[in-house]
Amino acid sequence: MKYRVGVVGLGVMGRNLALNIERNGFPVVGYDLDEQKIVSLQAESKGKSLLGVRDLRKMFAALEDPRCILLMVPAGAAVDSALAQLSPYLKPGDIVIDGGNSHFLDTERRVREFDSHGIQFVGMGVSGGAEGAKWGPSIMPGGSLESWQVLAPILTAIAARAEDGEPCVTHIGPRGAGHYVKMVHNGIEYADMQLIAEAYDLLHRGLGLDAPAISRVFSSWNEGRLKSYLIEITANIFKKMDPDTGQPLVDLILDEAQQKGTGKWTGQNALEIGAPIPTIDAGLTSRILSALKLEREKAAMVLSGPIPRFEGNLADFISAVENALFASKITAYAQGTAMMMTASQEYGYNLNLREIAKIWRAGCIIRAGILENIMGAYERNPQLVNLMLDPYFQNALEGSQTDWRHVIQAAVGWGIPVPAMSASLAYFDAFRSERLPANLIQAQRDYFGAHTYQRIDRDGTFHTQWELE
């Protein structure tokens, strides 16, 4: 028989995607350098249109035209190495899909290289983790429209379904657009997770709530406008008890957050294209700071600060934290979507932000109820400059603003760091400011470097001799 998709790289994600593709009616042949992973795939092949091979030549011979190869290997040099192994067997018309978290500029380079040989290269973001890969992820494929037309039946079949039944996949745009949007997705994910962690810190250190009480708070939040996958799993995390000690497991986990690099890429690219993303940056910086565990332990012995002491109505403050978290999350999405709009112009991606919000509603890590409202915002105005200017989000921010400021003021008074919430409020305040103190910065630049400046009362470029005689 002929097989429809070849999967190269049978780690957790590759193997689960292979099972997903086969379950949805598309025969799969799999290959990996690790023979044990091939054996593991073969063990699941009974009664399935699933084949594991030890030879790339056999894999290509088993595939029907146009041959579709899904590459699931770690980003970076491993992708180039795998592509070098595949190249001798590829022919014009073949489609190679990189389903890992590759940097979008690497994808741009690979598209150019393969285009010259008549081979279509697709950079495809996949979000949802191992379970999502097996049962339905959110899928963000870039590349040519021709490749999308071939892949659409397969990707539509394996994608997650939103509550309205719509598949969480769409053609994102040309070349590296798919991996770019996945990168920004992960940046928003960094921000979202940090904001949730700060809310937890306020409830735990600020209010003195224990894990079961915090679980109940997050469970109630998940019934309202904060409803999301990350809020849901956070509520579950606080329920888990360590079988050895009987303590909440979360209290026994080392407070060092790790990262894989996509958040860093988001911050780096935002600087390159001039897109302000302070909440996303705070999420990244907080992970880096958390890794300084030894330094923090030493600092705790010598640097003093206030001891949190809550006085007031507990239920009212918990409600205020909920509003502060929601307002901050709005700004995180506003920063991510504004960044994608800037990148769309910079790289010629022609991104459809409504469709991107639509495919993030299920399967992916940042799936949340708020995405329905984001879809609505871009339906009302496809050229919306910033989400905060949409009537729904404008009203939401106005309604949360008092609590937002109160919670951050309380955190500062208690000495509890809330870098992401603070960055979110600062972004909101800066964006709504008709005049910022950048006029002084321009004067300073002209003073020490003769960089010139513009005036508000006349046209032209000016330089001043600032030294007083």
Name the pTM for this structure.
Answer: 0.95
| Domains parsed from the chain with CATH numbers | 3-175 (3.40.50.720), 182-431 (1.10.1040.10), 438-469 (1.20.5.320)
How high is the pLDDT of residue 469?
63
293 included as an active-site residue: no
How high is the pLDDT of residue 159?
98
What are residue 52's phi and psi, to 5 degrees?
-105, 130
Say if CB 83 and CB 100 are below 8 A apart.
no
What is the chain's pLDDT, residue by residue, as a tens digit (469 residues)? 799 999 999 999 999 999 999 999 999 999 999 999 998 888 888 889 999 999 999 999 999 999 999 999 999 999 999 999 999 999 999 999 999 999 999 999 999 999 999 999 999 999 998 899 999 999 999 999 999 999 999 999 999 999 999 999 999 999 999 999 999 999 999 999 999 999 999 999 999 999 999 999 999 999 999 999 999 999 999 999 999 999 999 999 999 998 877 889 999 999 999 999 999 999 999 999 999 999 999 999 999 999 999 999 999 999 999 999 999 999 999 999 999 999 999 999 999 999 999 999 999 999 999 999 999 999 999 999 999 999 999 999 999 999 999 999 999 999 999 999 999 999 999 999 999 999 999 999 999 999 999 999 999 999 999 988 6
Q: 349: which DSSP letter?
A: -
Say if CB 261 and CB 245 are below 8 A apart.
no
How high is the pLDDT of residue 261?
78
The CA-atom distances, in angstroms, between 205 and each of 240, 252, 278, 306, 412 are: 19, 16, 25, 12, 13
- Return the SS3 of 65: strand
The CA-atom distances, in angstroms, between 114 and each of 93, 109, 152 are: 10, 9, 21
Alpha-carbon dihedral of residues 333, 338, 343, 345, nearest 10 degrees?
A: 150
Catalytic residue chosen out of the listed positions 37, 134, 182, 358: 182
Question: Angle CA(155)–CA(192)–CA(140) in degrees, nearest 5?
Answer: 15
Q: List Cβ neighbours of 59 (8 Å cut-off, separation of 6 or more).
A: 6, 8, 29, 30, 31, 53
Catalytic residue chosen out of the listed positions 22, 37, 134, 189: 189
189 included as an active-site residue: yes
Q: Which helix (H) or strand (E) holds 137?
A: none
How high is the pLDDT of residue 44?
83
- Locate all alpha helices (DSSP H) within 97-144, ordered by sequence: 104-115, 129-135
C-alpha atoms less than 13 angstroms from C-alpha of 285 in its C-beta half-sphere = 13
Strands 95-98 and 63-71: parallel
